[in-house]
Structure 1
Amino acid sequence: MEESFEALDVLIVGAVPLEVKPLEGWLRAPKPLLTPWTTLWAGRWGRLRVGLACLGIGKVNAAAGSAVLIERCRPAMVWVVGSAGAYSKGPLSVGDVLVSTSILLGDEGVWERAGMGSMKALGFAVGHERGRPVFERFDLSEDWALKWAATLTPAGWYTLGTSSTKIPTVHPWAEDMPKAAAVREPKREIFQVAFGPSVTVGMSSGDAWIAEERFTRYGAWAEDMEGSAVVQVCRRYGVPVVQCRGISNRAGERDKSLWCMDKALAHSHAVLGTWLDGMKTAA
Structure 2
Amino acid sequence: MRVLVATAVAAEADSVAAGLAAAGYARLGEEFVRRAVHTAPGSVPSPLIRYGRAGHEIHVYPAGVGPAAAAAGTALALGRGPGYDLVVSAGIGGGFPGAAPLGSLVVSSRIVAADLGAGSPEGFIPVAELGFGRHEVPVPGALGRRATEALGAALGTILTVTTATGTAERAAALLAGHPRAVAEAMEGFGVAEAADQYGLPVLEIRAISNEVGPRDRSAWRIGDALAALTGAFGKLPPVLESWTTHEH
**Which band: TM-score by shorter chain?**
0.7 to 0.9
Whether contact under 8 Å (1:201, 1:225) holds in the other structure is yes
User: Which residue is equivalent to 2:208?
Assistant: 247
Q: Using the alignment, how far apart are the partners of 2:54 and 2:226 within structure 1? A: 23
User: Which residue is equivalent to 2:115?
Assistant: 107
1:207 aligned residue (167, 176, 185): 167
Whether contact under 8 Å (1:47, 1:280) holds in the other structure is no
Whether contact under 8 Å (2:107, 2:205) holds in the other structure is yes
Q: Using the alignment, how far apart are the partners of 2:94 and 2:2 within structure 1? A: 29
- Structure 2 unaligned regions, length at least 5: 36-45
> Residue type of the partner of 1:233?
A
CA-atom RMSD, angstroms? 2.3
1:87 aligned residue (81, 96, 101): 96
Task: Check 1:217–1:282 CA distance in 2 against 1; reply closer, same or farther (3 A cut).
Answer: closer
2:149 aligned residue (139, 149, 154): 154
Larger radius of gyration: 1
User: Which residue is equivalent to 1:75?
Assistant: 84
Q: Using the alignment, how far apart are the partners of 2:204 and 2:243 within structure 1? A: 21
1:133-175 per-residue CA deviation (whole Å, 9 max, x = no partner) reads: xx332232xx2xx4135335418xxxxxxxxxxxxxx5xxxxx
Match status 1:273 vs 2:234: yes
Count of residues in Structure 1 that have an aligned counterpart in Structure 2: 227
Whether contact under 8 Å (2:160, 2:189) holds in the other structure is yes
User: Which residue is equivalent to 2:40?
Assistant: none
Matches within 5 A, 1:184-199: 192-199=152-159
Task: Check 1:139–1:148 CA distance in 2 against 1; reply closer, same or farther (3 A cut).
Answer: closer
Q: Using the alignment, how far apart are the partners of 1:116 and 1:69 within structure 2? A: 34
Whether contact under 8 Å (2:2, 2:56) holds in the other structure is yes
Q: Using the alignment, how far apart are the partners of 2:243 and 2:193 within structure 1? A: 28
Whether contact under 8 Å (2:103, 2:228) holds in the other structure is yes
Whether contact under 8 Å (1:46, 1:280) holds in the other structure is no
- Structure 1 unaligned regions, length at least 5: 1-7, 126-134, 156-169, 171-191
Q: TM-score, normalised by structure 1?
A: 0.73
Task: Check 1:100–1:279 CA distance in 2 against 1; reply closer, same or farther (3 A cut).
Answer: closer
Q: Using the alignment, how far apart are the partners of 1:281 and 1:221 within structure 2? A: 26
1:80-124 per-residue CA deviation (whole Å, 9 max, x = no partner) reads: 111111223x52211221100001111211112331111134222
Task: Check 1:118–1:229 CA distance in 2 against 1; reply closer, same or farther (3 A cut).
Answer: same
Task: Check 1:138–1:24 CA distance in 2 against 1; reply closer, same or farther (3 A cut).
Answer: closer
Q: Using the alignment, how far apart are the partners of 1:49 and 1:116 within structure 2? A: 42
- Once the two structures are aligned, what percentage of the paired residues are identical? 27
User: Which residue is equivalent to 1:234?
Assistant: 195
2:73 aligned residue (34, 55, 65): 65
Q: Using the alignment, how far apart are the partners of 1:57 and 1:282 within structure 2? A: 28
Bigger drift between 59-68 and 265-274 goes to 265-274
Whether contact under 8 Å (2:154, 2:182) holds in the other structure is no
Match status 1:136 vs 2:145: no
1:215-256 per-residue CA deviation (whole Å, 9 max, x = no partner) reads: 112222211101011111212211121111011111124222
Q: TM-score, normalised by structure 2?
A: 0.82
